């Protein structure tokens, strides 16, 4: 078997047949990362015209001496249970990276470590891929211990299976989530699709939001170009939440008429101030979703909490869950929610949707130059924080 550069079509055709196929190992993500000046490579392990393993590699200079860092995001695409194949592919990849003056190759495979329930408990008799972890270590991959890592490759994902009808999905939500969605409807929080032509609104919401999670790993200055790329390939779905301030005020006044107290009076005055400042309505949340191979990924979410009693994201999630189902998606992927399960703030907020916690095996590095590897990781971590 021999490693070679392959074209995008051959790469995509191979990935489509793999259980590890994902948006971050795609030609579309490569196009997005080139906006941040990454070099991109599509490589495959081939024999007699057949591809047995493949990877999208991202690369960037990390020193004035042209040393380069390499990264296969959520990759590579291979049968990880075939140890000999993983060993051969690893060897060929490392030689490839060496030839291009690489200091290290980073991977964070889309491999579930353990099956866990909605509370984070390991399911007895479920998936346990510690054997794959040990095999990667034996080959020479070094598992990141967290000292140098930075949280762009979080291990914990959250997914919702969409193989139920809408009523069943909604009824399976917790009482708290159902109550929030109902209350949002009563006070005037609605959602709508944001068209590409109005993309400046996305930037404006993100700029003034108090909560922002961005799983694209891209500079905000490139948001316009990103949305162009995704929209041109029919992958983009931006949904915004809008608060009808007049309806919210009317809701509170009606509530005061039945249960008047100082807190409601105070809230009415606060909403009147919102009305004075913003007029009849204001955009208070958004999600940027990507539809890729029957999976809906939430890659950016943001909330502008003009009022701490408002929860716009829950309504956006529900509306986009219904949208994903209507588009024949099998999975709604809230995507990265952190690098640990304990005391996970986002998990506490979304677990009421009754999805599945997915714990991945984490980040591994094949280090060719320890000095430049450590220097690069420390620099990236500093830049992130």
Distances (CA, A) of 304 to 14, 187, 204, 240, 245: 41, 16, 10, 11, 14
Query: Could you tell me the fold of the domain covering 2-150+361-384?
Result: Aminopeptidase (3.40.630)
pLDDT greater than 70 at residue 158: yes
pLDDT greater than 70 at residue 146: no
Are the C-beta atoms of 363 and 126 separated by less than 8 Å? no
User: 81-110: string of b/e by CB count within 10 Å (b at 16+)?
Assistant: eeeebbebbbebbbebbeeebbbbbbbbbb
pLDDT grade for 21, boundaries at 50, 70 and 90: very high
Cα 148 from Cα 137, distance rounded (Å):
18
Coil, helix or strand at residue 338? strand
Please give the residue that has the higher pLDDT: either 123 or 10.
10
Only one residue has tokens 């301030």, namely: 245
Q: What's the distance, Cα to Cα, between the start and end of the chain in Å?
A: 42
pLDDT greater than 50 at residue 5: yes
Listed by start position, the domains of the chain span 2-150+361-384, 158-360
pLDDT at residue 147 in the model: 52
CA proximity to 283, closest of 361, 199, 341: 199
pLDDT at residue 268 in the model: 92
pLDDT at residue 150 in the model: 45
pLDDT at residue 160 in the model: 96
pLDDT greater than 60 at residue 66: yes
Stretch (H or E) spanning 255? helix 245-259
CA proximity to 256, closest of 267, 243, 241, 240: 267
pLDDT grade for 200, boundaries at 50, 70 and 90: confident
Least confident of 48-52, 216-220, 289-293, 360-364: 216-220
**CATH code given to domain 158-360:** 3.40.630.30
Please give the residue that has the higher pLDDT: either 16 or 337.
16
The answer to whether the pTM exceeds 0.85 is yes
Cα 306 from Cα 284, distance rounded (Å):
7
Establish whether domains 2-150+361-384 and 158-360 are of one fold: yes
Cα 107 from Cα 84, distance rounded (Å):
18
Coil, helix or strand at residue 308? coil
pLDDT at residue 381 in the model: 58
């Amino acid at each position: 078997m021999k490693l070679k550069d392959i074209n995008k079509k051959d790469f995509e055709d191979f990935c489509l047949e793999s259980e590890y196929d994902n948006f971050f190992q795609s030609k579309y993500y490569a196009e997005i990362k080139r906006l941040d000046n990454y070099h991109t490579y599509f490589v495959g392990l081939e024999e007699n015209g057949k591809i047995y393993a493949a990877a999208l590699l991202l690369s960037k200079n990390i020193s004035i001496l042209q040393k380069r860092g390499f990264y296969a995001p959520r990759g590579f695409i291979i049968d990880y249970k075939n140890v000999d194949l993983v060993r051969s592919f690893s060897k060929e990849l490392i030689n490839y990276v060496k030839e291009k003056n690489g200091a290290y190759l980073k991977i964070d495979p889309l491999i579930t470590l353990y099956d866990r329930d909605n509370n984070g408990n390991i399911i007895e008799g479920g998936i346990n891929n510690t054997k794959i972890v040990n095999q990667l270590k034996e080959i020479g991959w070094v598992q990141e211990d967290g000292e140098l890592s930075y949280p762009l490759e979080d291990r914990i994902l959250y997914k919702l299976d969409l193989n139920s009808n809408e009523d069943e999905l909604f009824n399976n939500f917790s009482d708290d989530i159902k109550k929030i969605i109902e209350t949002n409807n009563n006070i005037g929080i609605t959602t709508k699709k944001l068209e590409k032509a109005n993309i400046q609104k996305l930037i404006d919401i993100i700029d003034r939001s108090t909560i922002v999670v961005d799983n694209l790993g891209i500079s905000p200055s490139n948001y316009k170009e990103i949305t162009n790329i995704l929209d041109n390939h029919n992958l983009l779905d931006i949904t915004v939440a809008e608060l009808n301030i007049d309806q919210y005020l009317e809701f509170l006044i009606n509530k005061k008429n039945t249960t008047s107290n100082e807190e409601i009076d105070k809230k009415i005055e606060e909403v009147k101030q919102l009305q004075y400042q913003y007029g009849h309505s204001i955009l208070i949340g958004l999600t940027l979703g990507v539809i890729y191979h029957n999976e809906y990924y939430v890659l950016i979410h943001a909330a502008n909490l003009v009022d701490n009693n408002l929860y716009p994201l829950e309504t956006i999630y529900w509306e986009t869950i219904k949208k994903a189902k209507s588009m024949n998606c099998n999975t709604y992927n809230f995507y990265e929610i952190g690098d640990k399960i304990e005391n996970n703030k986002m998990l506490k907020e979304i677990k009421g949707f009754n999805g599945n916690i997915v714990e991945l095996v984490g980040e591994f590095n094949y280090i060719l130059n320890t000095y430049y590897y450590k220097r690069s990781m420390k620099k990236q971590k500093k830049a992130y924080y």
